[in-house]
Amino acid sequence: MFTGIVEETGEIVARERTDDGLRLRIGADEVATGLEHGQSISVSGACLTVEDDVEGEWFEVFLATETVERTYLGELDEGDAVNLERAMPADGRFDGHVVQGHVDAVATVSTIESIDEDWFFEFDLPEGYDRYVVEKGSITLDGISLTVADLDTENGRVTVAIIPTTYELTTLSEKAPGDPVHLEVDVLAKYVERLLEARFE
């Protein structure tokens, strides 16, 4: 489990296509320290498993075909940046919200606006996902725990306000309209929906 509080951005330093998927080598400073084979790590919101690592320099993850098809990680090239977060320890501080690292779909940046020191990002949600989003609720975009500032259900769009620290420490500073982002809606909303469906079946 993760919290959506990005620890640092890493860089794709190598990629290798295989018959079963894609292997990525990701360079990182803080996050690569202490990683071990088999640990979970969030890479721009996708929960992946560490396969190999060189202490404090880089680590490798493997993306199965399902992950490649559901995310945009397969489109990344060497030099591209990704958001990184290690799995939350049992005794750790819970600063974000419950993030599983299970990417639901890929959303798209529609507009970016700078107002004073803040940034407002608007995203086009894939069809049907706006029902899991509520104003002032939580949403995960590229592994970042964010609060919904505005929801346009008519057009299927969500707006979030980004403070300078989040803008500078994550890949959002490199995004432009039309770029993809990984979407994970609040898992509590999905559980509530399933319980209601079961009740009225």
- Parallel, antiparallel, or unpaired for β 144-152 and 157-162? antiparallel
Catalytic residue among 33, 111, 147, 153: 147
What confidence score (pLDDT) does residue 36 get?
A: 85
Whether 182 is a known active-site residue: answer: no
Low-confidence ranges of the chain (pLDDT < 70): 53-55, 90-94, 96, 189, 191, 193-194, 196-201
Asked if 64 is an active-site residue, the reply is yes
Using an 8 Å Cβ cutoff, are 140 and 99 in contact? yes
Phi, psi of 195 (to 5 degrees): -65, -40
pTM of the model: 0.90
Structure-token pair, residue 2: 């993760």
Residue 47 a catalytic site member: yes
200 belongs to the catalytic site: no
Q: Tell me if residue 40 is catalytic.
A: yes
From 14, 18, 37, 64, active-site residue: 64
Q: Is 71 a catalytic residue?
A: no
